[in-house]
Structure 1
């Protein structure tokens, strides 16, 4: 009898927890649905009732956002910056992670310790020196943004360090016996063996760079070079005066849709990759 009551109690508790998580998930999803519904209304209809379904589905709002609001230009700027930034950030993290994990030299532990200590330094405290450095180097342009993403010692390095640490060195020794050099071993053997971590870090980098607002906002002074995050912020300021909010909602959906699709299809690889890296570390 007591065991039955205990089982019923556990079932009730589990049900309550599941309902709470479902309610929390609905609270996260609903703003996107609301934004989608209102992006398909006319501006007049939006101000009449922000909660109703569209009487006429205005798909041309997306065309207006793409062309007249310059979201298309911002979108392609984000695409190429995200592609290059992801490649450089992952490779610049993979190389030091591999060297520190697999080669013993004086100071290797210090390099790893610096990567850990970097998390303890408040980012706000580095804004002033960083701004002056970029100003003196003349990097208020896309090149400056790309260099900012190429920092190798950080979160990506720590994750990849765990993966390389768990790979047997026998693979490299066999390749060395066949005449392969160090860089060839890294590129053709170690990187493929660490592909779980590489994929996870790439996904994380794509999401972070696509959504990054601070660096492009500070360093990109030409509006034609704006990324979609900065372009949306600029569009919000414009819409304060024109009050064409339906086009703004359409632009927001264009901005978030690629990341939502990427996360929906790759979330398992992202979670499993980080979990594997943590277990190996």
Structure 2
């Protein structure tokens, strides 16, 4: 058995690639650090030197952003909308995914094909009919936003379809013999077995709904109902005239922090979940 040694050229090439990846990572992290540093300055100090460290760390900028800029209200609006939207989007995707993966009936392949074709239709192409539908149903409110997250045939369904496809049907047959019904098998057996996929799509849904700007911007007419994404955009417009950018940076950090924490805590499950789903499918 011979041990292969890497040639000096390959070692140099790998080193260059690692350095490039490190520089790319720093380019992604640095804007967050810069925003955090400037969120702790006074407005005068910010305009004097945007690259220096704060002479006095003004943590009250976060309190001003939370209360005076109404970020606290927008934050809690996003929390409950994200929680409800994630539950409904995942469950409404899990149910058709399970049925299509485990039950064969006429038209099942057509439904799955439509889910794939749906990715080819640009979102802007459906904006007109969607807007008229919401207007006719009088859904320019949080309920309309919530309904927008309940679409069962989409990205989440395709990922969960792969997971359910890889689960042995013998578990369901054993449960049927014990007297369990179809819904009981789905809730008590199949969902727990597809836990990796559920966690992955839930994490993706949380990040997507929390950052969603389009639907809340169109459907929420009352400022008190704004989500944090819409509220931040509104705050940016206000700061164009008042130029209180340090409070704006503090508000941005409040908005982005939950997403960063969620991703850091769940990144391994997110990546492994999508990988396992792709292998099973």
Do residues 90 (structure 1) and 99 (structure 2) align? no
Shift of 1:122: 1.1
Do residues 199 (structure 1) and 199 (structure 2) align? yes
Q: Matched residue of 2:237: which SS?
A: helix
Shift of 1:5: 9.1
Shift of 1:108: 0.6
Provide TM-score, normalisation by structure 1: 0.98
C-alpha distance in 1 between matches for 2:268 and 2:231: 31
Do residues 24 (structure 1) and 24 (structure 2) align? yes
Shift of 1:208: 0.2
Q: Which residue of 1 aligns with 2:117?
A: 117
Q: Which residue of 1 aligns with 2:262?
A: 262
Q: Which residue of 2 aligns with 1:126?
A: 126
Task: Tell me: CA distance 1:46–1:171, structure 2 relative to 1, closer, same or farther (3 Å).
Answer: same
Q: Which residue of 2 aligns with 1:108?
A: 108
Shift of 1:39: 0.1
C-alpha distance in 2 between matches for 1:239 and 1:218: 22
C-alpha distance in 2 between matches for 1:215 and 1:6: 53
Consecutive unaligned residues of structure 1, counting only runs of 5 or more, are none
Q: Matched residue of 2:21: which SS?
A: helix
Q: Which residue of 1 aligns with 2:154?
A: 154
C-alpha distance in 2 between matches for 1:155 and 1:11: 40
Shift of 1:7: 1.6
Provide TM-score, normalisation by structure 2: 0.98
Output aligned runs, 1:1-281, within 5 Å.
7-281=7-281
Q: Matched residue of 1:128: which SS?
A: helix
Consecutive unaligned residues of structure 2, counting only runs of 5 or more, are none
User: Residues 34-71 of structure 1: CA distance to partner in whole angstroms, max 9, x if unpaired?
Assistant: 00000000001001100000000000000000000000
Provide the aligned C-alpha RMSD in A: 1.1
Q: Matched residue of 1:56: which SS?
A: coil
C-alpha distance in 2 between matches for 1:125 and 1:230: 22
Q: Matched residue of 1:204: which SS?
A: helix
Shift of 1:10: 1.0
Between Structure 1 and Structure 2, how many residues are aligned? 279
Task: Tell me: CA distance 1:267–1:133, structure 2 relative to 1, closer, same or farther (3 Å).
Answer: same
Q: Matched residue of 1:139: which SS?
A: coil
Task: Tell me: CA distance 1:171–1:6, structure 2 relative to 1, closer, same or farther (3 Å).
Answer: closer
C-alpha distance in 2 between matches for 1:11 and 1:149: 48
Q: Matched residue of 1:264: which SS?
A: helix
C-alpha distance in 1 between matches for 2:9 and 2:108: 53
Q: Matched residue of 2:7: which SS?
A: helix
Shift of 1:4: 9.2
C-alpha distance in 1 between matches for 2:183 and 2:192: 13
